[in-house]
Amino acid sequence: MDTPAQRWTTERFQLGEGLRWTPSGLVGVDILTGRLLALDTEAPVRPVRILAQLDGPLGAVAPVRGAAGRFIAATGPGVAVLTVGADHDLQVEWLARPEDGAPTAMRMNDGCCDPAGRFWAGSMAYDETEHAGALYRVDPDRGVHRVLEGYTVPNGPAFSPDGGLMYLADSADGRIDAYTVTADGDLDGGRVFARVSEGGPDGMQVDAAGHLWAAVWGASRVHRYTPDGRLDRVIALPAAQPTSVCVVGAETPHLFVSSAAIGLEPGGEHDGAVYRAAVDVPAPPAAAFGAPS
């Protein structure tokens, strides 16, 4: 096990998540407070800058191709495009609200784009009803499709550098699945890629060498897996509930890790903070929504 990571923020977030390296810098969310946050990658800054405040939960965002200050977002019961103005005014354009009226109260959770510019995001029940969650795909033409069902707490997804492989975790079941992604965005060949014996895999990212990084909720650590599913690196954290990961920097790459304080009463002083650790392989920035030119 590696040396514990450095604490990067003095602030503690309720449910910090969704770290992404974007043209707007390193962004993340505090899901249940609906805040879109910007983090400085060179020096810890307090307070963390708030880019936008939504009325409901905000699961994750991805940049919109060629549109500074615009993000596609997994938020509330669906997917929306957010436009953040220079003075932090916010416009919300809903693309779909597929979880409105579900038998149990649902919200969107984690999400990201693949290299082809499609946005993928999962949904989950507030009370974590078993198998109530689903995975949605938003195509560049803004069509929204329900593509997988039966997950309880879907997290990720994350994509191989060429976009041909998708990893999707079910945190409640302690597993990470892998799917082949066709050119049209269909999924094939689902299989279990890895399981964790303690806690549950949460937010994930694939680096430039094809390693899968996964935050492990409830286990105070981050795992890195080789492309064949072998655990080859562990980073320890003083926070009990790591939630998402993001590698930043090409010359001297660092892994940033968010965490959550929710459900920990009273919780430790480190729970809910963001952490940083040096790593040996860079990762591409977050893929953008929209067809590549």
- The binding site consists of 17, 107, 109, 127, 155, 202
Q: Which two tokens stand for residue 249?
A: 């920097």
In this structure, the number of other CB atoms found within 10 A of the CB of residue 17 comes to 24
Please list the alpha-helical segments (H only) found in 58-159.
Answer: none
DSSP string, 250-264: SSS-EEEEEEB-TT-
Which of 27, 2, 11, 1 shows the shortest CA–CA distance to 256? 27
Number of other residues whose CB lies within 10 A of the CB of residue 282: 17
What pairing do the DSSP bridges indicate for beta strands 49-53 and 165-170? unpaired
Residues belonging to the binding site for a divalent metal cation are 17, 155, 202
Has 177 been annotated as catalytic? no
Annotated binding site for substrate: 107, 109, 127
- The residue from 177, 202, 207, 271 that is catalytic is 202
Q: What does the block give as tokens for 161?
A: 């550098």
Q: Do β-strands 175-181 and 90-96 pair in parallel, antiparallel, or remain unpaired?
A: unpaired
Catalytic residues: 202
